[in-house]
Structure 1
């Protein structure tokens, strides 16, 4: 019995060290990761979520229960016609309350304390001074249901309004333009970076990230003036205009700057900031 317990504990330890708690949980939505391979090198107390809405999966999220924000969301960029959904209710994820729940995201007008203990709720953001910043943006989604599915609070992190509606929105638009020369699926992973210490919170519950980051993978593309941006490229943006210049140099007066970079440079930054021994967002650097 002791030997069985030892090896069971050892296997669990190896799983956490090298893959966190996400070795199998993404199986239902593994299609949203390039080559059906989750990012390698991430460990920690995170919850894998296959974002389920209207009887289908729309994207994948690795959720940080302690900070009540996602670490990243992974999706396939495929902008569709149609405006941003209006009057959309912000949804919560019942599976964060109990893993026995099989339903997808849902709207709850008055979430109970069990929900509040497990995740952010809409009232956390009211009068906070921060917008609800999408990691998987509705503008990068194809159908009306795809767009609506992004309005879950498990896909949201506190984002300063000038950053959300300015440089970061411009980057999302540029990524959609580059998609037009991508002749295969374009895989995107967008996430956040916490402060190294003294992390601020809204409502004393939801942690505000210092930086947002994104990376995309398009293994095949039509050669053109933007060919240097393929098969991969990445970017980091300063959510806090007063952040240090060690990651993104200040070039504008408001300080909400975005720096584009190679995938390799982003992975080095994440490895250092998240204190991971290694980091690989896309299998084989997105090379077929």
Structure 2
């Protein structure tokens, strides 16, 4: 028995001697393959991060998204990156909580003819999703938060017709008041040649809220907060969601208190208390006339500061938000399951490569 084992060992060492060059070459070559394979996989994630980083975070002033301060708002929420705008969507209200855009002269110089393409947002779970049937016969318009006329490309225009970018809006509010405010905002950009960061969304005030369809909550008001870094002008439009044609200009702090959202975490409380005389129509915007200062809001409760860690976590959600995301608050990094899969693929590739060389 001992002789048989010794013979087996000798055969094994003889095999190694005969194939030593192949073994060494196999290990070196397969190691190089593994490194290349791993780099390719990792680069896919780096590429996703960098490309989405540019497309998504650039829609926020200094790359920082609005932050939900109330825990109740975070329930069933989705961070969605679109072409030309971003959305924090609520599966509870089945509407956006806020929609963010960065408007620039270059962006608005591109005119895309309107093509309606209202559609349901498939990245949102079916139970949280607003549907076309919800709005049918409701008496409310499908009101864009990021308007179609802001969109510089066909892809962005199509995305703007997602129901994740819509709220049930009173017809006169949508077709007259809101249209004029959207035109006024664009006029600031195009006539005064300055960038404007815009956060638009619904207000849900009161304990008893109306719904349409299968639970889509009707806002009591709609808002549009704007900030112009070039001049420091800031403020917000606030319009009741009815046919009254009323609108007023308020401070960002006033809005934050109503919403439970820190709309511009990168700005100071002093900045957000300032209110400027925002134009109500495009005609009111003059090319060489700065928007006048109005008042300083000393009464409203501004949103509290958000920690750097929490803001970075939210940034990661938008960095990695993708068209394939179907779960609330999309993941922010390569998950363990993906890492395990890549490791297994590397090991299998190594073994197969060595076996081929030793044949």
- Check the 8 A contact 1:209/1:239 in 2, yes or no: yes
Does residue 1:34 correspond to 2:61, yes or no? yes
Higher-Rg member (1/2): 2
Does residue 1:279 correspond to 2:262, yes or no? yes
TM-score normalised by L of structure 1:
0.66
- Check the 8 A contact 2:256/2:263 in 1, yes or no: no
By how many angstroms is 1:181 displaced? 4.7
Question: Between Structure 1 and Structure 2, which shows a larger proportion of helix residues?
Answer: 2
By how many angstroms is 1:82 displaced? 3.3
Aligned pairs for 1:1-288 within 5 A: 29-40=56-67, 42-43=69-70, 44-45=74-75, 46-51=77-82, 57-77=83-103, 78-82=107-111, 84-86=113-115, 88-97=116-125, 115=126, 117-221=127-231, 230-240=232-242, 254-261=243-250, 265-271=251-257, 273-274=258-259, 276=260, 279-281=262-264, 283-285=266-268
Q: What's the Cα RMSD here?
A: 2.4
- Check the 8 A contact 1:235/1:266 in 2, yes or no: no
Aligned equivalents of 1:256, 1:183: Cα separation in 2: 29
User: After the TM superposition, which segments of 4 or more aligned residues of structure 1 sit over 4 Å from their partners?
Assistant: 181-184
- Paired residue secondary structure (2:84): strand
Per-residue CA distance 1:124-170 (angstroms, 9 max, x = gap): 11111000000000112222332222000000000011110111111
- Check the 8 A contact 2:67/2:263 in 1, yes or no: yes
Aligned equivalents of 1:74, 1:280: Cα separation in 2: 10
By how many angstroms is 1:31 displaced? 1.4
Per-residue CA distance 1:184-214 (angstroms, 9 max, x = gap): 5321110110131111001242100000001
Structure 1 pair 124–190 and aligned structure 2 pair: CA distance change class (3 A): same
Aligned equivalents of 1:180, 1:282: Cα separation in 2: 26
- Check the 8 A contact 1:216/1:234 in 2, yes or no: yes
- Check the 8 A contact 2:188/2:194 in 1, yes or no: no
Any unmatched runs of 5+ in structure 1? 1-25, 52-56, 98-114, 222-229, 241-253
- Tell me which of the two structures has the higher relative contact order, counting C-alpha pairs closer than 8 angstroms and 6 or more residues apart: 2
- Check the 8 A contact 1:90/1:151 in 2, yes or no: yes
Structure 1 pair 208–129 and aligned structure 2 pair: CA distance change class (3 A): same
By how many angstroms is 1:83 displaced? 5.2
Per-residue CA distance 1:48-90 (angstroms, 9 max, x = gap): 1112xxxxx321100010110101110122434435522x322
Number of aligned residues: 211
Structure 1 pair 198–82 and aligned structure 2 pair: CA distance change class (3 A): same
Aligned equivalents of 2:120, 2:68: Cα separation in 1: 28
Structure 1 pair 71–41 and aligned structure 2 pair: CA distance change class (3 A): closer
Structure 1 pair 84–73 and aligned structure 2 pair: CA distance change class (3 A): farther
Structure 1 pair 185–269 and aligned structure 2 pair: CA distance change class (3 A): closer
- Check the 8 A contact 1:191/1:214 in 2, yes or no: yes
Structure 1 pair 184–269 and aligned structure 2 pair: CA distance change class (3 A): closer
Aligned equivalents of 1:74, 1:151: Cα separation in 2: 15
